[in-house]
Structure 1
Amino acid sequence: MYKLTEKSPARGGMLSLKKARYNNPYFQKKGGIVVEDGKEWWRVRSKVQVPLMKPKNLCLYIEEMERISLDLIHKVSRHRDGKGEVTLDFLEELQKWALESVCFVSINQRIGCFDGVVNKDSKEIRDAAFELLDAIFTCETRSKLWKIYRTEPFSKLEKSLEFLTAVCDKVLHETKKKLASRKDYLSEGNLNIMEHLALSGGLTHKDIVTFMMDIIPGGTNTTSDNVAVVLYLLAKNPDAQRKLQEELDRILGDGEGPITPKQLAQLSYARAVLKEANRVMPPMFGPVRLLQEDIQFRGYALKKGWSVLFMNGLLGWEESVFPQADKFIPERWLRSKPLGDIHPYTILPFSHGTRMCIGRRLVEQLIYILMARLFHRFTWSGSTPDMGESTR
């Protein structure tokens, strides 16, 4: 199915965000890569994917991502009771961590989700970003009356979108001025992602602003939820957590120095933990494709315009595909393959092909940094009941 739809991987979705942008004259009926399909989607996607998916470009953000992770860890450390149990809503703190990290990549500034970086402008950006996320979620998963008239959630979506648009537009103008002032000293090795886009050509100012905002809803809740699942499964499987800590002790040593790109590349067991977490509790059942033509698939006629959901996540629970599927075994993903070979198309949490999640490397880097710092310092445990899944 991936191969049959690779030439035109349309998926639809995020219709509330698309409508809000089409209603706003600023965007000139261009919704950005999160909501568009076809030629308009590829026009932008083909330009933005290179700088965002190059590991060396993301390495520039490691230092600040580590600071943000440490801010989260320090806050959690201060909010524990006499038994060492966290007294905060930890999922809420993870959402703040993800938003702070994603916004730093998107608009090149901290927005003050943690202590020590608080000012009026930062608070307004933070509040607008959370309101945008909440409004999109509400519109997409609950009543669709916003398609007929402006409901309260849709009005909030439009309001927060307008505010963040102005912020991103201003930041990009300032970035361009700085680039112009140091044009004789520019080097590709010290350009952040926004600067790469501003200099790359082929994209309008508004294209870049739209993409900067797309990173926020595209990367925040998915990242925080993914980490929550990792923490839950490692708490339930102390042997796997101990092996992760042994790897971190070996690679990070005393942990006093900053994390380096080389150290991140050596975290093979951490990568296996994330892959296994995505198998056991997948962030989505699978991607959707809106068929752009009639196709024949294994004896079935699938018609143009049909919506096809790849139930990819269910493969992770199949005993015939994954021996001991009911157990959390990160080792199955190591090079030694103790439980046999794994087909490369079985677990695809970031989808595949040209429509693969453009923020994949960004999200993985964020998660590995937090895992490294959190589990190098603490043992994570809990007495929570078994967690299930509800997909909407």
Structure 2
Amino acid sequence: MLIIRNCMSIINRQRTGVALFANGNAQNRSQSSTNAEVKEQRVTRDDVEWQNARSFDSIPAASGLSLIYNMAFPGGKYKNMDLTQLVLGMRNDYGEFFRMPKIFGSDAMVITYNPKDFEAVYRHEGIWPHRPGSDTLRYHRESYRKDFYKGVEGLIPSQGKSWGEFRSIVNPVLMQPKNVRLYYKKMSQVNCEFVERIKTIRDATNQEVPHNFIEDINRWTLESVSVVALDKQLGLLKESDKSDNVMLLFKSLDEFFTYAGDLEVKPSLWRYVQTPMKKKLMNAYDNIQKVTLEFVNEALVRLEAEENKGIVRAENEKSVLEKLLKIDKKVATIMAMDMLMAGVDTTSSTFAAAMLCIATNPVKQDKLREEVMRVLPNKDSEFTEDSMKNVPYLRACIKESQRMYPLVIGHARTTNRDCVLSGHKVPAGTFVSMMPLSMLSNDEYFPKASEFLPERWLRSDASTSKCPANPLKTTNPFVFLPFGFGPRMCVGKRIVDMELELGIARIIRNFKVEFNHSRENAFRSVLINKPNIPLRFKFTDLDH
């Protein structure tokens, strides 16, 4: 009863003097400043579409009290749902377009399942798009550990001008294809080690890898991102022992995605009091900071020693850290740390999804192998920039697996200007959550949506510059945006693409891959979708 009385007290305080877009809480100051910026540049609309649109207040609204009960209390309809189930359940209950009130300091929001709305929001997001979310990480860096970050919070939680300045520094290094391709050779070496590790850990009788194969996938992804970020192999695929630091990082990353998903999406008092889950999450953030900073500091010491010896390395030998050090040491350090933080579970989950699809569709796997063997005539052949330009089926397989097993449940933006969404006026400064999840498996948007069909992503005639009509392709491009859209799309997209393409190609060239177990509930939905079943793939050596 005490908990309920405390909740009611806070709800009542919110009801008095708090407008829909107001933010009195100190931890929401980023949202407040963004709304102020939007207000300054706001242009009043008076066009026909705006005049004919229904009012904002006429948007169907969910009850705050009902949501708190259903999400947070025993017996509540949504209490034991993961985030995917929650999103789909609320769509069934409230429809395709509705708004949610401010709850316990979280932002009020409009939720839409309409892809036409997605386009309207993205087309007018401005040069510094405001992406809601990451509130707990922002709190950790702006308040909890502000003495370390000192105003440089990195790309994930920052907004507005500070985000724009940080992004403008790292974009040339991370987003230009020519810079990413410099890491082919180093990434290829990691992939060869991954193949050898698979051979070592699989069962000699049935050729299946252990039930905890996700740990080995995490080792591969961390090793891969390390050679790009730090120009250092950590030896994770060669050593059988489990480094305390590495295992702490893996554990803390899992806690981050689990606890942050709960605190930021479901009703929680964490903005007001030190809840047990908030304490665990801050500890996880501290551990991630500790381990990633140790890796970065080791690289900094090595680079300083090389400089003192007069060692000058070629551009294709330099890490992201070394390149950014020339511009800003703090930005270089935080970016390298964030690459290690954000580049493990996300890539591991995407890789697992692709392998599940390829392993359970042998005809598609055979077709993929034919393409891969043109790139890698021998099992130990090296990748080249020219050969990797012509792997459309490999890229199509990865895209199709991202459709079937999406990494995230949706995307969010704060509107930069007045918009008309689903026939309603939505003012500038509104938090809009865009949920394409149900459309990814809907025949209306993806013909034969239940089937793994990489062909839907191919051109009918690859020799032409135009893309002929493909009857399998999506009817709306804004339904499928696995890396986001616009200026705020994932800064690591090109690195992840390279990591997945080279890794999957190397495995398919060496093994026939099978998965002979149930795929029911293959992923659990936290802040991202993570593997939820033992990934006991069967890897059978190819004869040639």
Is the helix fraction higher in 1 or 2?
1
| C-alpha distance in structure 1 between counterparts of 2:450 and 2:208, whole Å | 28
Change (3 A) 1:166 1:4: same
> Which whole-Å deviations, capped at 9, do the CAs of 1:331-370 have from their partners, x for residues lacking one?
1211216535545434210011000000001001011111
Deviation at 1:237, TM superposition (A): 1.1
The 3-state SS of whatever aligns with 2:218 is: helix
Residue type of the alignment partner of 2:179: N
1:100 paired to 2:228: no
Alignment match, 1:368: 501
Task: Give the paired residue count.
Answer: 385
Alignment of 1:228-267 (within 5 A): 228-267=352-391
State the SS of the aligned residue for 2:525: coil
2:174 to 44, 47, 52: 52
Identify which of 303, 306, 325 aligns with 1:198: 325
Post-superposition shift, 1:238?
Answer: 0.9
CA apart distance, 1:124: 5.3
Tell me how far apart the structure 1 counterparts of residues 297 and 498 of structure 2 sit (CA, whole Å). 27
1:176-325 correspondence to structure 2 within 5 Å: 178=306, 182=310, 188=315, 190-199=317-326, 201=327, 204-325=328-449
SS class of match (2:413): strand
Query: How far apart are the structure 2 equivalents of 1:358 and 1:98?
Result: 17
For 1:65 and 1:338, the matched residues in 2 are separated by 34
Q: Deviation string for 1:146-195 (max 9, x for gaps)?
A: 65336234224224413433542453364366457659x66655543222
Deviates more, 1:328-337 or 1:174-183: 174-183
Match of 2:478 in 1: 345
The answer to whether the Cα contact below 8 Å between 1:285 and 1:313 also exists between their aligned partners in 2 is: yes
Q: Does 1:386 align with 2:506?
A: no
Q: Which runs of 5+ in 2 are unaligned?
A: 1-120, 461-468, 527-544
Distance 1:354 1:136, change over 3 A: same
User: Which secondary structure does the structure 1 equivalent of 2:425 belong to?
Assistant: strand
1:53, CA displacement in angstroms? Answer: 1.3
Aligned CA RMSD, in angstroms, stands at 2.7
* Structure 2 CA distance for partners of 1:311 and 1:334, relative to 1, 3 Å: same
Who is 1:113 aligned against?
A: 236
Identity %: 27
Structure 1 residue 67 corresponds to structure 2 residue 195: no
Q: How does 1:129-148 map to 2 (within 5 A)?
A: 129-142=249-262, 147=271, 148=273
> Contact between 1:102 and 1:219, CA under 8 Å: does it hold in 2?
yes
> In structure 2, how many angstroms separate the alpha carbons of the residues matched to 1:164 and 1:190?
21
User: Which segment drifts farther, 136-145 or 54-63?
Assistant: 136-145
Contact in 1 for aligned 2:173/2:320 (Cα 8 Å)? yes
The offset of 1:304, in angstroms, is 4.5
CA distance in 2, matches of 1:111, 1:125: 11
How far apart in 1 are the matches of 2:377 and 2:291?
44
> What is the one-letter code of the residue matched to 1:93?
D
2:98 alignment partner in structure 1: none
TM-score by length of 1: 0.88
Q: Which residue of structure 2 aligns with residue 126 of structure 1? A: 246
- How far apart, CA to CA, are the structure 2 residues paired with 1:267 and 1:15? 39
Aligned to 2:125: 5
Question: What is aligned with 2:118?
Answer: none
2:395 maps to a residue whose letter is R
- Normalising by structure 2, what TM-score? 0.65
Contact persistence 2:404–2:440 (CA under 8 A): yes
Deviations 1:87-110 (A, max 9, x none): 342222212211121122222212
Partner SS state of residue 289, structure 1: strand
Is the contact between residue 128 and residue 164 of structure 1 (CA under 8 Å) also seen in structure 2? no
Structure 1 residue 32 displacement after superposition: 0.9
Structure 1 stretch 286-295 or stretch 273-282: which is displaced more?
286-295
> Which protein has the larger Cα radius of gyration, Structure 1 or Structure 2?
2
In the other structure, the counterpart of 2:459 is: 335
From 199, 216, 219, the equivalent of 1:77 is 199
